[in-house]
Structure 1
Amino acid sequence: MTRTMNVDELIAIDFHTHAEEPCKCSRDDGYNEFQAGMAKYFKNPAGADGMLPTVPQTAEYFRERKIGAVIFPVDAERETGFHRYSNEEVAELAAENADVLIPFASIDPHKGKAGAREARRLVRDYGVKGFKFHPTMQGFFPNDRMAYTLYEAIAEEGAISLFHTGQTGVGSGMRGGMGMRLKYSNPMHVDDVAVDFPDMPIVLAHPSFPWTEEGLSVAQHKPNVYIDMSGWAPKYFPPIFVKYANSILKKKMLFGSDWPAITPDRWVSEFQDLDLKEEVKPLILKENARRLLKI
């Protein structure tokens, strides 16, 4: 059965959901411990003692709630040693559930020209709408010229770049933080990318703690930069983050949960309790994402 998305029937679009399980292989050494650490950080049983939701299971969850979802894997093989979930498989599964899932992909920018070719093929042949970067997990500064070969391909194909910013639950509390270095994810490094690729839509993921104000400043200053509000339960949002969402960035803020670490059920429930103007809530929940994704 062919499924198509009817955005008018959706109550929201979640801009940040993960396809977690390794592709067509067993879990790698250390992967269970990594997921157990994530579960402890987010106080979420997902991943602690069993497999995480599959892409079809994720689709069913969102379908029941009439929420669309941008879904992606994270290519961090070089830094973590964990096999990535195949971009092609995620895109194919998203196509089978196109009424609720919107495919993004992930490519380690260290892959250079090979990564750029993969990006073009994913957009042209698989309908991928954007690419997720996790500077801490991938071990690079976003403004490293090494990454520009990949950015050029993404920009030329008209796709979106989504950057993790701020602290991460990845490796939190583990010995040496599992080798993860927080310095890479300061959103100010993305400011250079926004200057050098002014026509490429860029999304800063999360409230960027402890650099929240830097993230807000980049989104305010650069027309092509947005913020997704994922990775934090809304009741913990810094006051200035809520203030900007309610005013000058009301058309640049995007609902994002960080599924499966944080569920949309929890996020949306706490979001409704924020001190936001009623006319702002629909923008954040759906309309800003709809405009950015051109759906």
Structure 2
Amino acid sequence: MVDFASVRAIDFHTHAEEPCCDHRDDGYNEFQAGMAAYFKNPAGAKGMLPTVQDTAAYYRNLNIAAVIFPVDAERETGFRRYSNEEVAGICAENDDILIPFASVDPHKGKAGAREVRRLVRDFGVRGFKFHPTMQGFYPNDREACYTVLEACAEEGVITLFHTGQTGVGSGMRGGMGMRLKYSNPMYLDDVAVDFPDMKIILAHPSFPWTEEGLAVAQHKPNVYYDMSGWSPKYFPETFIRYANSILKKKMLFGSDWPAITPDRWLADFEAAPFKDEVRPLILKENALRLLGETV
């Protein structure tokens, strides 16, 4: 198991991406090439995305624990993906550094709820990643997704929702069909009301709805923020101000690996105007509390 006392940080947002390959016909290669161009990351453009085993080795070398997950967006995008079971299995082999999350398309309804329960009980999954833009749903749509969210709440796991605009579909023809409207963080205000005991994380600074996201995180005790998907040097001033003050115990380090490496994120974080007393909260202490871990 992860020695939380010794790791120097916890990255709460890393992706289990399948390596690109020439024979794929599902549009995934083009998607990753577009992401690579947006983030100026040559690995994706050259088909050199890391495997989950590669990710474990990389983070072990950095002495940083990593929350990792695939994204179940096959219905909406057609992209094949790592299975939740495969990712959880590799996490078990690397449980000194990887923390297993999973992803279930909420449109799966009762079948998705069964999958949530099985992954938690049989595979030790600690949380679930939802991507409204890639999965095509409004988080507060009771009919579309609450059956799956109810299972998450009943199992006592963390839910992590993509919010705002990052590099996903950015600059690609028609945005590759991905609609930004689904990822307005204000929809999660309803989720936080309807599931008041479920831990909810807003992923990314929620641009262009940053202030809406900050309002939800401040107003609802069960809502947190991960700071992934953007270099800290581009964070809106109001985002940094809240992180330094009333939300200092709700902000989490997240890189968005492999699109953004933790090396890059941490270097830019060091140069950004965060208070010295806030930095350890963001890098590790808030994550420990959210995961229910003590050191």
Q: Distance in 1 between matches of 2:12 and 2:70?
A: 13
Does residue 142 of the first structure (1) align with residue 142 of the second (2)? no
Q: Which residue of 2 aligns with 1:267?
A: 265
Q: Which residue of 1 aligns with 2:88?
A: 91
Q: What aligned pairs does 1:233-244 form with structure 2 within 5 A after superposition?
A: 233-244=231-242
Q: Which amino acid aligns with 2:52?
A: V
Q: What aligned pairs does 1:186-265 form with structure 2 within 5 A after superposition?
A: 186-265=184-263
CA contact (8 A) 1:226 1:252 kept: yes
Q: Which residue of 1 aligns with 2:124?
A: 127
Alignment partner of 1:77 out of 50, 74, 77: 74
Percent of aligned pairs with the same residue? 79
Q: Which amino acid aligns with 1:99?
A: D
Q: Which residue of 2 aligns with 1:294?
A: 292
State the shift of 1:172 in Å.
1.1
Q: Distance in 1 between matches of 2:244 and 2:286?
A: 13
Q: Distance in 2 between matches of 1:74 and 1:28?
A: 18
State the shift of 1:278 in Å.
1.0
Does residue 117 of the first structure (1) align with residue 90 of the second (2)? no
Q: Distance in 2 between matches of 1:104 and 1:261?
A: 18
State the shift of 1:233 in Å.
0.4
Alignment partner of 2:33 out of 33, 36, 40: 36
Q: Which residue of 2 aligns with 1:172?
A: 170
Q: Distance in 2 between matches of 1:27 and 1:50?
A: 11
Note the aligned Cα RMSD (angstroms). 1.5
Q: Distance in 1 between matches of 2:201 and 2:25?
A: 30
CA contact (8 A) 2:19 2:51 kept: no
Q: Structure 2: state its 5+ residue gaps.
A: none
CA contact (8 A) 1:22 1:84 kept: no
CA contact (8 A) 2:19 2:47 kept: no
Q: Which residue of 1 aligns with 2:179?
A: 181
Q: Distance in 1 between matches of 2:62 and 2:48?
A: 22
Kindly tell me the number of residue pairs found equivalent between the two proteins. Answer: 292
CA contact (8 A) 1:12 1:68 kept: yes
Instruction: Give the secondary structure class of the aligned counterpart of 2:46.
Output: coil
Q: Distance in 2 between matches of 1:164 and 1:13?
A: 18
CA contact (8 A) 1:167 1:209 kept: yes
Q: Which digits, 9 at most, give the CA deviation of each residue in 1:13-51, with x for residues without a partner?
A: 00000001079xx63431111110000011111210113
Q: Which residue of 2 aligns with 1:281?
A: 279
Instruction: Give the secondary structure class of the aligned counterpart of 1:29.
Output: coil
Q: Distance in 2 between matches of 1:42 and 1:240?
A: 23
Q: Distance in 1 between matches of 2:168 and 2:207?
A: 14
Q: Give the TM-score taking structure 1 as reference length.
A: 0.97
CA contact (8 A) 2:119 2:125 kept: yes
Instruction: Give the secondary structure class of the aligned counterpart of 2:225.
Output: strand
Aligned CA distance change for structure 1 residues 68 and 41 (closer, same or farther; 3 Å):
same
Instruction: Give the secondary structure class of the aligned counterpart of 2:42.
Output: coil
CA contact (8 A) 1:137 1:180 kept: yes
Instruction: Give the secondary structure class of the aligned counterpart of 1:116.
Output: helix
State the shift of 1:143 in Å.
0.2
Q: Which residue of 1 aligns with 2:9?
A: 12
Structure 1 moving runs of 4+ over 6 Å: none
State the shift of 1:94 in Å.
0.5
Instruction: Give the secondary structure class of the aligned counterpart of 2:43.
Output: coil
Q: Give the TM-score taking structure 2 as reference length.
A: 0.97
Q: Structure 1: state its 5+ residue gaps.
A: none
Q: Which amino acid aligns with 1:61?
A: Y
Q: Which amino acid aligns with 1:19?
A: A
CA contact (8 A) 1:22 1:85 kept: no
